[in-house]
Structure 1
């Protein structure tokens, strides 16, 4: 049987020796002695002191400038779209400034400044500065910023052709040019919002948009910028690449990667275009959906199911146009647009794959 005393022992986070806590109330201790606590503190300070804050200072400085512009813009409006918008930007600006001051203090010390010099500039006592801007405290602030950064996204490449879209209805009750593309983009955004399980206000906060603007996006009342769409998708924990082709179609753009793009890039663009259509149709079950398609060979069924998944569908380069068109039509997409992506994918696919399909 295990020793009953060992069950109540705690492992010291510095020397890893197990010890019994002296008091049964309060927060459990992390260290077995004050010497271990001091040693751990010195280790953290040494590790944090080795950090280079120059890159962080540049990033935070850019964030401060962006937030300052947002404050100026929201304060200049006679009636903000959202009553709390100026306050939200101001609070965010203060947080950015606090972080910038923190890394600037550490940078100044690295460049030879004394605590007394910093005290004269900040009008803060040296003792208070040394506690607030210790290497450990500043490192925590930097780590917290990194945790708040959105994940990397795939931005759309340069536009290659422009077809201006009309913005008003034409006589005779017909829909304006590009209306269907904009409506499909709005459906995709609305479905993404619903799948995220978040409120419009929560998404607006994460995407740095107003709640009313989020409502207009999902209702198709506004044609948004790519930045607004990207931020919206990231706030919903989605993949921006899935919305690139829908956004370009709504914007009246022919969207293709430049000549010489690698197979992986072309594949990602083709898969994103198809997944965007799938999202606009509320993501019907891929298994049942694909099996119901006409004129699809048996070996192409698994390829199309992987095409609609999140993992790269590397065998998509062997899909026939007949199967690809059947999938596009079933998803109510533009066959001409998807054909461009399909042609680019076939051209970029390694020859061995195409020869295997042709002669195998």
Structure 2
């Protein structure tokens, strides 16, 4: 005859400890306590919402790289910057690194690494790792990141869903799609504010913007509309034409040149594109840029200086493509975009006279 006591014993599906059921009738319990029931529920929830840690590691890695560039940039500029900016970027970088370590631990486990191996790399104990980087904890961290409003440098450009913009939002009255690289635009806006010598708060007041929003789009965390960029540039005593090409590039669009555009218009667009790249790199000394020219084109150094100057450079129409390309690459610009500006300029540039060709 079977022992009634052994018949009343049940194995907990969470802790695997056998316990005696309190009520001998009815449905057999699965868990020995409410704590085990809650723990099992958390595990099931984590399994049903398990994050793709490999993909998250790639995404957060891009955020880490962007933040690291911002830290290096804010700490190395010769122009005085907002005192707390390097600290703010450093704190944000620390948070991104913590998230990256968390998903990297889970990814390593998924690929066959042992807790002991990870403990040796991280200088932590196995129990600390299992507590801090459990599937539940890391999944919660990933969900928290997804729940936050996405910062533009963090989200890969290909994954940003295009959002319709109001008509007339762009410099040429176009409605741009919301994608593309935005680092250059953010750097240019940040440098422009520093070169203006005005505090961020003063510029924000003049432009009719909130200081917090200015901090965000100059750090690349938000993407401003063209109207916002124009107001900001004017408040910094800058030329909005210098930012048009950067803004268009950040939105993945081209600024179309009218077929009947004259030389002055095309020249202004070419110079604006080059000055925008120059500004995005904190306006390095032209002599440094000229040193990057091919040997046979050093005689064009005076033209390059005039192109980067604020006044119109009529002689820019005679600038060779080799020198223009070298300048664009030295400024980390898109050679294809600059080539289109250069081609349009060459098409309408006045031809030098015979005397000019003979005597310069």
TM-score (norm 2): 0.50
TM, length-normalised to structure 1? 0.50
